[in-house]
Amino acid sequence: MTATDTHRAIDAVWRIESARLIAGLARMVRDVGLAEELAQDALVVALEQWPQSGVPDNPGAWLMTTAKRRAIDRLRRSKLLVRKHVELMYELESEQEHAVSQVEAALDDPIGDDLLRLMFTACHPVLSVEARVALTLRLLGGLTTEEIARAFLVPEPTIAQRIVRAKRSLAKAEVPFEVPRAEELAARLSSVLEVIYLVFNEGYSATAGGDWMRPALCEEALRLGRVLVGLAPREPEVHGLVALMEIQASRSRARVNGHGEPILLLEQNRAQWDRLLIRRGLTALDYAEKLGGARGPYALQAAIAACHARALVAEDTDWSRIAALYAVLAQVAPSPVVELNRAVAVAMAFGPAAGLARVDTLVAEPALANYHLLPTVRGDLLIKLGRPYEALVEFERAAGLTQNMRERELLLERARACADGTTPSSGR
């Protein structure tokens, strides 16, 4: 194996093992920042040694053992946490006395709990949402600071500072490295799901930049969601979120043309939708409902997405059911955005006038003042009602509010179509 091949192998191993490595170390040293440093130290040693010695048979175990040695060295130098020092020494010596198979078992046994603890720690409410997202992608996604910055179109130093401050905040608040107790679990799990879905949404509909989608973020969010299902299989909303992401992701290929230009939902070629992802999503939704989670916010959104997925052509979409599901969602998780989406479903089910009446009740809503989809939806409905010049104003306003270049171009194109007297594309 050449040095280049070895470095590629190291990179692949790091992507696979880094989260489990950091999680296992954090359980021992009770400090996420220190755990990541120790894992990075082990990675540096691998980069130095593996090109000469070759990749070990069990690279994850090798990295863990190396990181533990680093932890012991650090504790010796600092003369702190003597009790932890003894525990780590004993654990390392025990491992060295056992066969490789026993070492692997020791490393694998607590890993599920460790990963779950790491998820809850990285998504702790003491951190800002932006910090939770950055820390989760760094610790659980194995992404570099540069990769996170590029994905969110944020300067690399900004992301680096978010991660550093997040680690300091966790240490200062003495956040325990543990799965929350029963009375805290629902709220804390909600924070984890929120972070994963924020990452997915940024990939699915990029808020800024020149790309309509950033598939790598969708894939990372899906991976984290699937991991979480394995760690918390009895939590219905975890299945609900995964169902929603699987079904939404199934449309990815159909959402842009060969030039990267957006294709709206009602105009997509549904033959390009990924039927495997749809089946996985419907299965996850079924699990959520069987666990009693049919009225969970993510499960309800997944049920809405399922209505689209089951319609082989746009005309077969059950808009009445979608409108009814949005009505339930508005009760369970009320928000102006839910009401706007509900208005779209009402328009499709009962006519554009009924939808516009609902949209007009949201025009003065402060939370939607700079939300570009409000004038976009209003423009859609005005077109259907034969009021193109009013629609033109709405599309131009929406174009001024969005930060995504592809979306802005689409909205301006629709405005021009209104001015020319042609029918612009519709559908969301």
pLDDT tens-digit series, residues 279-310: 999 999 999 999 999 999 999 999 999 999 99
* pLDDT reading at 8 higher than 80: yes
The reported pLDDT for the residue numbered 93 is 62
- In order of 59, 190, 194, 293, 405, the CA distances from 285 in angstroms are 36, 18, 18, 9, 34
Give residue 424's pLDDT band: very low, low, confident or very high (50, 70, 90): low
Mean pLDDT score across all residues of the chain: 88
The reported pLDDT for the residue numbered 106 is 37
DSSP string covering 283-298: HHHHHHHHTT-TTSHH
- In order of 206, 220, 361, the CA distances from 152 in angstroms are 8, 13, 33
As a whole number of angstroms, the distance between CA 94 and CA 411 comes to 65
Which tens digits make up the pLDDT trace of 149-172? 877 878 999 999 999 999 999 999
The reported pLDDT for the residue numbered 64 is 92
Beta strands in 282-423 (DSSP E): 403-404
The reported pLDDT for the residue numbered 150 is 79
Average the pLDDT over 332-339 and give the result: 95
Give residue 4's pLDDT band: very low, low, confident or very high (50, 70, 90): confident
Please give the helix or strand (H or E) that residue 209 lies within, else none: strand 208-209
The reported pLDDT for the residue numbered 426 is 61
The reported pLDDT for the residue numbered 104 is 42
DSSP string covering 395-417: HHHHHHH-EEHHHHHHHHHHHHH
* pLDDT reading at 323 higher than 80: yes
Question: What radius of gyration do the chain's Cα atoms show?
Answer: 25
* pLDDT reading at 139 higher than 60: yes
Return the percentage of the chain with pLDDT > 90, whole number.
62
- Of the two residues 409 and 104, the one the predictor is more confident about is 409
Which tens digits make up the pLDDT trace of 47-97? 999 988 888 989 989 999 999 988 888 777 765 555 565 666 666 666 555
* CA pseudo-torsion sign 145, 147, 151, 155: positive
Average the pLDDT over 260-273 and give the result: 94
* pLDDT reading at 31 higher than 70: yes
As a whole number of angstroms, the distance between CA 201 and CA 248 comes to 10
The reported pLDDT for the residue numbered 100 is 39
- Of the two residues 183 and 109, the one the predictor is more confident about is 183
Q: Which residues contact 324 (CB under 8 A, 6 or more apart)?
A: none
As a whole number of angstroms, the distance between CA 204 and CA 198 comes to 10
420, 388 in Cβ contact below 8 A? no
The reported pLDDT for the residue numbered 241 is 98
As a whole number of angstroms, the distance between CA 26 and CA 368 comes to 41
Give residue 351's pLDDT band: very low, low, confident or very high (50, 70, 90): very high
Q: Lowest mean pLDDT of 36-50, 340-354, 355-369, name the range.
A: 36-50
The reported pLDDT for the residue numbered 144 is 85
Phi and psi torsions of 403, nearest 5°: -100, 0
As a whole number of angstroms, the distance between CA 213 and CA 194 comes to 19
As a whole number of angstroms, the distance between CA 336 and CA 334 comes to 7
As a whole number of angstroms, the distance between CA 372 and CA 258 comes to 25
The reported pLDDT for the residue numbered 10 is 86
- Of the two residues 16 and 161, the one the predictor is more confident about is 161
Q: Lowest mean pLDDT of 102-111, 205-214, 244-253, name the range.
A: 102-111
Q: How many whole angstroms from its chain centre is CA 222?
A: 7
As a whole number of angstroms, the distance between CA 363 and CA 52 comes to 66
Q: Which residues contact 281 (CB under 8 A, 6 or more apart)?
A: 242, 243, 244, 245, 246, 247, 250, 302, 305, 306, 309
Owner of token pair 């939607």: 368
Q: Lowest mean pLDDT of 42-51, 103-112, 270-279, name the range.
A: 103-112
The reported pLDDT for the residue numbered 209 is 80
Q: Lowest mean pLDDT of 27-31, 107-111, 390-394, name the range.
A: 107-111
The reported pLDDT for the residue numbered 400 is 96
